[in-house]
Amino acid sequence: MEPKKGQIKFTGNLPMEFSFKPDDPQALVPETLKDTFEMIRDTVKAYLKAAESLVSGPYSSIRKLVPPYLSDPGNVLIAWCDDGIAIRFERKIDEEKQKIGTAWDLEGGSTLSRLVPLISQNLIFCAPDRTSISADPTNGQDLILFTKDAQSQQQAEILRAKISFHAVIEKPGDLPSPPMKPYCLLSVQNSLELCMEGEVVSQGEELVSGQRFLTRTVLRLPVGWDCIEVYPFFNLESWKPEYAKQWAERDILASVVRAQCRDAELNSLDPNASARKHFSSLLNQFKELLDSNPDREEVLQQFLKDNPALLCPVHTKMWPKLALGAKKTDFVFQEATSDYLLVELERSTLPLFVKSGDPSKELNHAQRQILDWKRYIEDNLSTVQRELGLSGISVNPKSLIVIGRSDSLISNHRRMLVTLENNSPKLKIMTYDDVYQSAKTVIENLLGPLWESGGSTQIYFPPKPQGLPGSI
């Protein structure tokens, strides 16, 4: 492909834009640089192709820990100057065809100190020596933290800072030799981790009396690049496509190790963090399913079959759709105490009571279903214990009906539920919202509070005062 003269435009978090002037004689690449540009471009292309192949094949299980510019790369800009090259990697946008461009200053004399701030959108700076480090307060991106009153929605700023990255171009004692990856002065990824330490206290309590916590939020800066890498002290012998697969594999494994070490470091403060994250996600899925108003009971039955701890956190065995006589149960659980629990599910969209205040026909039907199962067990106790595997089940096991949503209930309805339960020993009637809240309470009692933090924020609860890594 013949080179073209043009401009590259960087706007916010959008991909870079190219505009060209066709048939411009000034666009000719000097003969001395043609082979260099072609070799660098082919090497970077081979590097990204190798990375994609690795995360789609042998390293697919750790793909989510690999930075997007390697696992799903987008456009790439290789910028050449007199004292090295800088590479701007972007993440893929939709299914746009990847472009790998090589740019250089036609007039010459360009340096990394001038070039890197341009392609990084004024975030990264390379000083030629230690006396030239810039401290310009206008450089970088603003980071603003504020509090927001839940009732008035008023905001109050508590912290303002500038984010930028600085490096000094100093030659190390020994440069890597081929086939090792060339010396990289810096590799900055567009992923900023912000950690803050705090304490949960009730109004009027002393700060030392509350639950300590650490928040961890991964932020993306409002720029279009995903990674910027700078390579001073350029040596063409180090840039060959046959070396690229080795570089890609080392970079992938290094990124995974960094991510795992950081996770391990924070999880050591709170061993329950991973389990709490799992159950928080599970409860959110359950809530979203309920709010979708599924019109079939089977949808909820399948979700609870896949996640039985929501219905019976202390179960040791589960039998879905077990027949007791002519009709099947939705679930039979054996609890850790060896007690059994029979479960009848009705649709979440059904009412529990009619306008007169009497139980709905669906709730009455569910109660009759429970009674039919218990009669069958009483009449066939030895068969149920022996042939169905419900060893030790009594003629009056515990039972649970789940039906409807809590927003359909008023205070009189709740009192009526208590009366119905008192008239049927060992029966519990719950709405699907009750199931959600009961499961949430059990999980929080075991693992700690489940906060609706939103976004990418994770929360850790350290067991005792100690230094928190990475906190500010």
Q: How large a percentage of the chain has pLDDT more than 90?
A: 62
Most confident of the following: 13-27, 310-324, 445-459: 310-324
> Which of 243 and 471 is assigned the larger pLDDT?
243
**Res 468 pLDDT > 60:** no
pLDDT on residue 19? 77
Q: How far is CA 400 from CA 212, 229, 368, 430, 443, in A?
A: 38, 60, 12, 7, 20
pLDDT on residue 292? 94
**Res 140 pLDDT > 70:** yes
CB 352 within 8 Å of CB 360:
yes
pLDDT on residue 472? 41
Which phi and psi angles does 352 have, rounded to 5°? Answer: -90, -30
- Per the document, the length of the chain is 472
Rounded Cα distance between 305 and 113, Å, is 60
> Which of 292 and 135 is assigned the larger pLDDT?
292
Rounded Cα distance between 73 and 66, Å, is 11
Q: What is the pLDDT of residues 359-373, one digit of tens each?
A: 999 999 999 999 999
Residue 83 DSSP class:
T
With cut-offs at 50, 70 and 90, classify the pLDDT of residue 296: confident
Domains of the chain, residue spans: 5-190+221-267, 276-447
- Work out the angle at residue 120's Cα, subtended by the Cα atoms of residues 116 and 125, and round it to the nearest 5 degrees: 45
Pairing status of strand 340-345 against strand 398-402: parallel
Count each helix (H run) and each strand (E run) in the chain, helices first: 10, 21
With cut-offs at 50, 70 and 90, classify the pLDDT of residue 397: very high
Handedness of CA 406, 408, 413, 416 (dihedral sign): negative
Rounded Cα distance between 243 and 236, Å, is 12
Is the bond preceding residue 179 a cis peptide, omega within 30 degrees? yes
Mean pLDDT for all residues in the chain? 89
Rounded Cα distance between 302 and 296, Å, is 11
CATH topology of domain 276-447: Trna Endonuclease; Chain: A, domain 1 (3.40.1350)
pLDDT on residue 471? 45
The beta strands (E) that lie in 53-140 are given as: 73-81, 84-91, 100-104, 124-127
Rounded Cα distance between 228 and 144, Å, is 24
**If you write DSSP's letter for every residue of 135-177 in order, what string do you get?**
--TTSSEEEEEEEE-TTT--EEEEEEEEE-EEEE----SSPPP
Q: What is the pLDDT of residues 209-262, one digit of tens each?
A: 677 889 999 999 999 999 999 999 999 999 999 999 999 999 999 999 999 998
Q: How large a percentage of the chain has pLDDT more than 70?
A: 91
